[in-house]
Amino acid sequence: MAATHVIQLLNWMHLTKHICMTDVTQELLDMLELEPLEQGLFRGTGSGGETATRIFGGQVIAQALAAAYGTVEDRLCHSLHAYFVRPGDPSIPVIYNVDEARDGRSFTTRRVTAVQHGKQILNMSASFHVVEESWQYQHPMPDVPQPEELVSREDYRKAQAHRVSDKRREDYLRPRPFDIREVNPQDHFDPKPLPDKNQIWFRMKGAQNITPQMNQCLLAYASDMNLLGSSMRPHGLTWGNGEVMTASLDHSMWFHGPIHFDNWHLYAMDAPFTGAARGFNRGSIYTREGQLVASVAQEGLVRPLKEP
């Protein structure tokens, strides 16, 4: 890796060390700090994410984007396209290999491969763009209740904890870095068919004074939350009812504008199609003021464990 790239990455990592944040927020930022090994090669932790049995998909995407940023200067990501190849093992580190595919005058392209046990668990292409001015247009933000009118994920889980087995309760209730408020939540323990429209407010309140690059990494991490659930809502399915096997298969994301993830953002999702044991899900991410800052698309495995 060029010396300037190493210095840039270490400065970026160093910045997050001096921010006053909650423990879980700092843990997530630490997770996105990758160790440079040599040119285009980085190591990241596999543990500590949303799940204990396998690495959360959003975590691998966010770390892969952080690895790509270790080789990019003076421009921000405008799109990424990732395939989940194998489940990640949270008990060992992940190695990220960055191919510096192209450095153009306006666009930079990177290919990132995440490896564990000598095999790919994810491969991702990402493109970075200089700032340019042009025409602007966007779809308006949906009219939904404000986050202050909704129950937080933390309070919802506390109220539902008695319905969780003793074995799972500690993990179910453990603190998490994101504040999430669902507009029309599914009952995970007694699910009913609901419209595929799936809207949440989310933010990481402690993530203040961080770089634009880190804001994108955090949003990439969080963009994998609740998305696959959109395609299960019309069927009255959830992860906990023993009827469905789920996994993210791919994940694409486009960044349209500046992100300040310490503020509330609306994640408006839907699922136009479910079939052939797959669900297709889309998402639009807006600032509270209504600016569209990112779009997301994902196909996921939705495989029946019983006769549908």
> Which structural domain, as residue segments, surrounds residue 158?
147-304
**261: DSSP letter:** T
Q: Is residue 181 part of a domain?
A: yes
Active site residues per annotation: 224, 248, 298
State pLDDT tens for residues 103-146: 999 999 999 999 999 999 999 999 999 999 999 999 999 999 99
pTM of the model: 0.89
Distance of CA 55 to the CA centre of its chain: 12
Structural tokens at position 18: 């001096």
| Mean pLDDT across 227-243 | 91
pLDDT class of 308 with cuts at 50, 70, 90: low
Query: Which amino acid makes up residue 48?
Result: G
From 67, 102, 129, give the residue that closes a domain. 129
From 76, 95, 129, give the residue that closes a domain. 129
Assess contact for 264 and 286: CB atoms under 8 A: no
Q: Is residue 156 part of a domain?
A: yes
93 and 204 inside one domain: no
Q: Is the pLDDT of residue 16 over 60?
A: no
Of the candidates 126, 135, 136, the one whose C-alpha atom is nearest the C-alpha of residue 254 is 126
CA–CA separation, 287 and 308 (whole Å): 38
β-strand pairing of 250-255 with 179-182: unpaired
Q: What is the CATH number of the domain that holds 224?
A: 3.10.129.10
Find the range with the poorest average confidence among 13-27, 40-54, 189-203: 13-27
CA–CA separation, 277 and 117 (whole Å): 28
CA–CA separation, 165 and 223 (whole Å): 28
Structural tokens at position 84: 């989940």
